[in-house]
Amino acid sequence: MLKFLSVGALVLLFSEPMMAQEYEDHNAMLMDHGEGHLMDMAGGMVMGQNADKLPGGCDSISETKEITVHAGHKYAEKFPGRMYAFDIQEFNFKPCTKLTVNFINDDHIRHQWMMHGLPKYLYPKGMFHLEISGPAKISGTLILPPGDKTYLVHCDIAQHMEKGMKAQLKVGKGDGDLPSIPGVTAYTLPDDYKATLPELNAVAEKAAVLAATAAPAPTRIAPAAKPVQKEEPVFSGITVIGLAIGLLLAPFLVKKFKGMSVSEAVAYIFDLLRALIELVVNLLSALIKRISSTKSKMLPGK
């Protein structure tokens, strides 16, 4: 009996009606900011809500329609290279239709169903806009204007439209098609997979040739920029002497370093260097003393 009950509970938990309602419903909008701008504490937003004001040119509401549109990554899977999409890319309604949109965001990020180009006297910034962080549902109503026109519907979150969340809504016959609508119209900037490695190498080679032909110019200017070059032989002379001393000292040093640790050897070299510097300083001071004494001898008036 207990077993039967627990199985029954499990069936109830995972039954279809329970699984279908995975999203939050945001239909009780608590904050009315006026002009059809509604918000709730969970971040749901409706802008351009209009269920009763007739657009100019509409004598009456022609039809009352209700649609449900999903938004999510999974709807982009059938469109190569796209990341996000609505489950419907194209809508068509009679002019002056009162339209209710039930927008369901299936992703765990924020999405919008944003319609542009509506008359601004009726819709702030010409927009009707549903927005919600998912998984959640949000609904709004608007009255479509008269005339044949194609309206852009998209998600305005950064890069979501470029990644595929774009649709068009035609009122009447519409006035053409919009570009880059997944599965409907051609991509404005088609991807190019033609560039192969040899082609890229050829470009790199061209760049190298250009760099080589441009290079001689600065080297030709360089010698003029160096006015004095006579110091170089002095330095090379010192280098030669240093090398000679090094070579002469090498066998002696090798003998000395045998059995020393690295730190001991380094300390020994520093000692040698200090002794060498002291020697040079002594020699120089002796030389200066001699020069000054000869100078004073040359000047008898002093």
- Of the two residues 130 and 155, which places its CB atom closer to Cu ion in the complex? 155
User: Which residue stretch of 90-98, 148-156, 186-194, 214-222 sits at the interface with Cu ion (rule: CB under 5 A)?
Assistant: 148-156
Smaller CB separation from Cu ion, 122 or 138:
138
Task: Rank residues 84 and 93 by Cβ distance to Cu ion and give the closer one.
Answer: 84
Nearer to Cu ion, 84 or 95 (CB): 84
Return the residue matching tokens 């004095």. Answer: 228
Binding status of residue 54 toward Cu ion by CB under 5 A: no
CB of 99 to Cu ion, least distance (A): 21
Q: If binding is defined by CB under 5 A, does position 154 make contact with Cu ion? A: no
Whole-angstrom distance, CA of residue 97 vs CA of residue 144: 5
- HSE of 263 in the Cβ direction (CA atoms, 13 Å)? 0
Beta carbon nearer to Cu ion, 98 or 160: 160
Query: Which DSSP symbol is given to 74?
Result: G
Distances (CA, A) of 29 to 18, 140, 283: 24, 10, 96
Minimum gap (Å) between residue 187 Cβ and Cu ion: 18
Sign of the dihedral through C-alpha 68, 74, 76, 82 = positive
Shortest Cβ 68–Cu ion spacing (Å): 17
Q: If DSSP codes are grouped into helix, strand and coil, which group holds residue 167?
A: strand
Least distance in angstroms from the C-beta of 77 to Cu ion: 16
Q: Is 39 in the site for Cu ion (CB under 5 A)?
A: no
Cβ proximity to Cu ion: between 70 and 170 the closer is 70
**Is 82 an interacting residue with respect to Cu ion (CB under 5 A)?**
no
Residue 73 or 98: the one with the smaller Cβ distance to Cu ion is: 73
Closer of 157 and 184 to Cu ion (Cβ):
157
> Interface residues for Cu ion in 195-234 (CB under 5 A)?
none
Any contact of residue 111 with Cu ion (CB under 5 A)?
A: yes
Contacts of 274 (CB under 8 A, 6+ apart): none
Site size for Cu ion, by CB under 5 A?
5
Please state the closest distance from residue 112 (CB atom) to Cu ion, in A: 6
160 binds Cu ion (CB under 5 A): yes
Query: Is residue 157 a contact residue for Cu ion (CB under 5 A)?
Result: yes
* 166-171/45-47 β-pairing: unpaired
Among 58, 115, 118, 155, binds Cu ion (CB under 5 A): 155
What is the per-residue burial (b if ≥16 Cβ within 10 Å, else e) of 209-247? eeeeeeeeeeeeeeeeeeeeeeeeeeeeeeeeeeeeeee
According to the binding rule CB under 5 A, does residue 129 interact with Cu ion?
A: no
Residue 26 binds Cu ion (CB under 5 A): no
DSSP 176-206: ---SS-TTTS--SS-------HHHHHHHHHH
Q: Least distance to Cu ion from the beta carbon of 186, Å?
A: 22
Q: Does 136 bind Cu ion (CB under 5 A)?
A: no
Alpha helices in the chain (DSSP H): 2-13, 16-20, 197-214, 216-225, 231-257, 262-298
**Other Cβ atoms closer than 10 A to 183:** 11
Residues that bind Cu ion (CB under 5 A): 111, 155, 157, 160, 165
